[in-house]
């Protein structure tokens, strides 16, 4: 099993992703987007960062890289894909997941801890948790406000494709606990298949006690969950 971490110009969490996966015993390698997906790819991370300087919209330019057609085809074949932060934006811009991430309600870049409530524990990315569990995972973004039309939001929600919601330390989903103004406090969603997930918080930054939290490990272990399925 080798997870490919796709590096774009301006990615800056690709090394962190490889390091966190390796720490968990999951084989991972960083690949420059122009080189395409290696044949032995069994999972894909779209990492965080500032691909192409967030020009146009965060993730919009990376989504036009030819590698994303390969990522989309792999996702359709059931290869697990995880988009983190800028990777989540790239995933949305590619159409791997519904909705869009836009400028924070504060209009500022926010780098802080966030609490996430597990909304659906029956997915590869959340099977390590129970529904309603509260995870402590950092956020760091300027365009993390999830937006989607009302009907599509209802559909996402009713199909169990909202993976995480921002909440307070006790698991209450409130406006005060919504760091960026996301619709419905949504922090992460699934694609059409539950093997595709994107989230704005950084699970790879919550994988070691020295980082202040290990709550993100279960998300990364989603790659093992799919390979063992």
- 29 among known catalytic residues: no
Kindly tell me which of 19 and 160 has the beta carbon lying closer to ligand GLN. Answer: 19
- 204 among known catalytic residues: yes
- The CB-of-211 to ligand GLN minimum distance in angstroms stands at 15
Per annotation, catalytic residue among 33, 70, 202, 224: 202
Residue ranges in contact with ligand GLN by CB under 6 A:
48-50, 54, 58, 85-86, 109, 140-144
- The CB-of-17 to ligand GLN minimum distance in angstroms stands at 11
Kindly tell me which of 138 and 191 has the beta carbon lying closer to ligand GLN. Answer: 138
Asked if residue 53 lies in contact with residue 18, where contact means CB atoms within 8 angstroms, the answer is no
- The CB-of-206 to ligand GLN minimum distance in angstroms stands at 14
- 85 among known catalytic residues: yes
Per annotation, catalytic residue among 85, 93, 119, 167: 85
Kindly tell me which of 91 and 226 has the beta carbon lying closer to ligand GLN. Answer: 91
Kindly tell me which of 50 and 146 has the beta carbon lying closer to ligand GLN. Answer: 50
Residues assigned a catalytic role: 85, 202, 204
């Amino acid at each position: 099993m080798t997870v490919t971490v796709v590096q774009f110009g301006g990615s800056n969490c690709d090394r962190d992703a490889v390091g966190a996966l390796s720490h968990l015993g999951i084989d991972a390698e960083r690949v420059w987007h122009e080189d395409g997906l290696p044949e032995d790819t069994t999972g894909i991370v779209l990492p965080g960062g500032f691909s192409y300087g967030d020009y146009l919209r965060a993730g919009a330019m990376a989504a036009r890289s030819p590698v994303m057609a390969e990522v989309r085809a792999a996702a359709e074949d059931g290869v697990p894909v995880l988009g983190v932060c800028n990777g989540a934006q790239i995933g949305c811009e590619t159409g791997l997941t519904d909705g869009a991430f836009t400028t924070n309600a504060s209009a500022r870049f926010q780098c802080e801890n966030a609490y996430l409530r597990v909304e659906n524990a029956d997915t590869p990315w959340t099977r390590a948790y129970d529904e309603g569990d509260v995870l402590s995972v950092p956020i760091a973004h300027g365009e993390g406000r999830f937006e989607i039309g009302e009907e599509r939001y209802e559909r996402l929600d009713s199909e169990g494709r909202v993976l995480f919601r921002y909440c307070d330390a006790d698991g209450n989903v409130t406006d005060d606990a919504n760091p960026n103004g996301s619709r419905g406090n949504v922090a992460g969603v699934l694609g059409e298949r539950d093997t595709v997930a994107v989230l704005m918080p950084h699970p790879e930054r919550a994988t070691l006690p020295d980082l202040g939290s290990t709550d993100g490990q279960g998300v990364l272990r989603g790659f093992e969950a799919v390979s063992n399925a």
